[in-house]
């Protein structure tokens, strides 16, 4: 019986699920590390990055713009890895996938991955800004939560459009649950 259970699992999806969950944890820790820096240290990091970027782009960026771009990029990366981790976790076994769930709150597997990823990233953005309230020289900001979510929302829209277009090109339709 155990051998049958093991055979029903996709080793490839187990590998990718573990890999991408590891990347998710790494991104969350990276975000925490940058938020843990006191205000002066964070500004020094931003200035170093700003000098490097402005040597390439001829001085068109300010520290504030670099900080906002960093917010968007780190949460885009987090959402990428989170989506892929959820997707591969869902595909590990037919028996444990969302398609076999008795209660379906979302209408498709893709929709489930997008919604769970978005909620996970929103939660991380809020916790990140709350965490900064307790760091010397830093302040939490609801505006920064919104900036963090720009990258998440854009990437989730790209995933949704790519998924829909790939199905259309293949002449298939999305499996929808009632």
Find tokens 């259309």 and name the residue. Answer: 168
Query: Residue 2's pLDDT is what?
Result: 52
Q: Model confidence over 95-121: pLDDT tens digits?
A: 766 666 666 667 788 888 999 999 999
Return mean pLDDT, the chain.
88
Is pLDDT above 90 for 84?
yes
Q: Model confidence over 19-66: pLDDT tens digits?
A: 999 999 999 999 999 999 998 998 888 888 888 888 888 878 888 888
- In order of 21, 31, 51, 58, 64, the CA distances from 47 in angstroms are 32, 18, 6, 15, 10
Is pLDDT above 90 for 91?
no
Q: What are phi and psi of 93, to 5 degrees?
A: -145, 140
């Amino acid at each position: 019986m155990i051998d049958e259970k093991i055979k029903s699992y996709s080793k490839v999806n187990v590998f990718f699920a573990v890999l991408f969950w590891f990347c998710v944890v790494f991104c969350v820790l990276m975000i925490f590390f940058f938020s843990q820096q006191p205000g002066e240290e964070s500004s020094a990091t931003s200035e170093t990055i700003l000098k490097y970027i402005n040597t390439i782009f001829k001085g068109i960026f300010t520290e504030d713009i670099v900080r906002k771009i960093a917010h968007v990029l780190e949460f885009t990366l987090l959402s990428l890895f989170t989506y892929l981790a959820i997707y591969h976790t869902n595909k590990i076994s037919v028996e444990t996938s969302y398609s076999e769930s008795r209660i379906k709150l979302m209408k498709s597997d893709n929709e489930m991955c997008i919604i769970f990823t978005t909620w996970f990233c929103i939660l991380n953005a809020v916790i990140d800004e709350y965490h900064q309230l307790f760091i010397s020289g830093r302040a939490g900001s609801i505006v920064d939560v919104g900036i963090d979510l720009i990258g998440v929302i854009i990437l989730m829209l790209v995933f949704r459009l790519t998924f829909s277009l790939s199905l259309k090109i293949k002449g298939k339709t999305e499996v929808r649950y009632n």
